[in-house]
Each structure stands twice: as C-alpha cells, then as structure tokens.
Structure 1
C-alpha cells in the first residue's frame, strides 16, 4: 500500500469511527426517551393481565372510578358517605342545641 492509500484509508476509518461515535452518542438519549415514552404509555393506557401479573388500569379508567365515588348515587359512594355523615352531624348539633336550651331554661327558672 502506498502512503496515499494509507492516508485515504485513515480518513475513511476516521469518518467511520466518527459516525459510530455520533450514532452512539445520539442513540443513548433516544433509547432513554423511547423507554420513558413506553413507561408513560403503560401508565396512561394501563397494562393487560399476563401470567403472574394482574392487570393495571390506565389513568382514564382510574379517573372514572374516582369520579363515580364523588357523585351521590345512594349506593354507598364516598359522596354518599360524606352526605350521610353531614346529615347525622347536623342532627347531633340540633339535638345538642335543643338540650343546651333546655338546660339553660332549667337553670334560669330554678
């Protein structure tokens, strides 16, 4: 091989190594981005059941479940429980007010 051929081969080899370095430098963040994108998609859309693993519902399904708990239905939702507790608290407050008024009436006449 002549000196010119060695020089040309060195230039080609340098270009190939530079291209490989560039590909490796760019591909690593792209692979990481693709992995994060896949994780987000699985979180958002959910994951179906597979052997040894239960299904994981996605965000829209979980939001629907939460939303149904926040609406009064008369069938034991969280909203129904809050409404019931509020109603019972008002009843207790009313009875306590009545009791205190009765006690004040006795002590002022006694």
Structure 2
C-alpha cells in the first residue's frame, strides 16, 4: 500500500470520499443533462433511418408540413377542403331557405294501413 494512503487521517479520508462522491454526482447529473440535450438536438435535426427504425423528420420539416395544410394551395390542403365544404354548406343553406319559403307549412302525409290476418278478413 502506498505511504500516502496509510498516512491519511480519518478526516482526510472522509474529505477524499466526499470529494469523490461529489465528482461522481456531478458526472451523473452532467450525463443526464447531456443525454437530454442530445434528444433535443435529435428532435430539432431529425434522425436518419437505421435498421429496424424509420427515419424521423426534423422540426423544420414538420413545421413545413403543418404550414402546407393551413395555407391555400391547389386544393390539396386541409384549408382548401374546409373552404370547399363551407361553400357547399352555404349552397345547401340557401336551397333550404328557398324551399322553406315556398312551403310555409309542412306537407301532411296520410296513409291508411289495413292489416288482415292470414286466412282472410275476420
């Protein structure tokens, strides 16, 4: 055993162990922080495909997809489809109002139903 270890007092040994524990704790905390930072960078930049895992697009590519859906383009976006449905709904509303104005009262439907038991009238 080296001479410097055998010459340590209990207080010095406790201080050395506390220092090692502090360095280990800081290393563990830094490792967690660096792992989280790595996940953030992967989310921002995206990840290429690897065996068994599909590629993940980066943040800017995902934002571009969202912008494509909420802006008018040649009929392929969600916003274009909502505009088309709104136009059709307006046409149906106009037709319903015109129909209602022509027919102030609802037509009455009458129908007589006669039920005869099997074998003829009773």
Q: How many residues are paired up?
A: 101
Cα deviation for residue 19 of structure 1 reads: 2.5
Q: Deviations over 1:59-96 (max 9, x none)?
A: 21111101001111123210111000000000000000
| TM-score of the superposed pair, with normalisation by structure 1 | 0.79
- 1:9 is matched with 8
| TM-score of the superposed pair, with normalisation by structure 2 | 0.72
Cα deviation for residue 15 of structure 1 reads: 4.6
Unaligned runs of 5+ residues in structure 1 are none
Alignment of 1:1-110 (within 5 A): 6=6, 8-10=7-9, 13-104=13-104
Comparing 69-78 and 87-96, the one that deviates more: 69-78
- For residues 89 and 54 of structure 1, the distance between their equivalents in structure 2, rounded to whole angstroms, comes to 41
More helix by share: 1
Comparing 15-24 and 48-57, the one that deviates more: 15-24
Higher relative CO (CA 8 A, sep ≥ 6), structure 1 or 2?
A: 1
User: Residue 75 of structure 2 contacts residue 81 of structure 2 at CA under 8 Å; is this kept in 1?
Assistant: no
Comparing 23-32 and 8-17, the one that deviates more: 8-17
- For residues 36 and 90 of structure 1, the distance between their equivalents in structure 2, rounded to whole angstroms, comes to 51
Cα deviation for residue 55 of structure 1 reads: 0.6
The structure that has the greater radius of gyration is 2
Unaligned runs of 5+ residues in structure 2 are 108-122
- 2:116 is matched with none
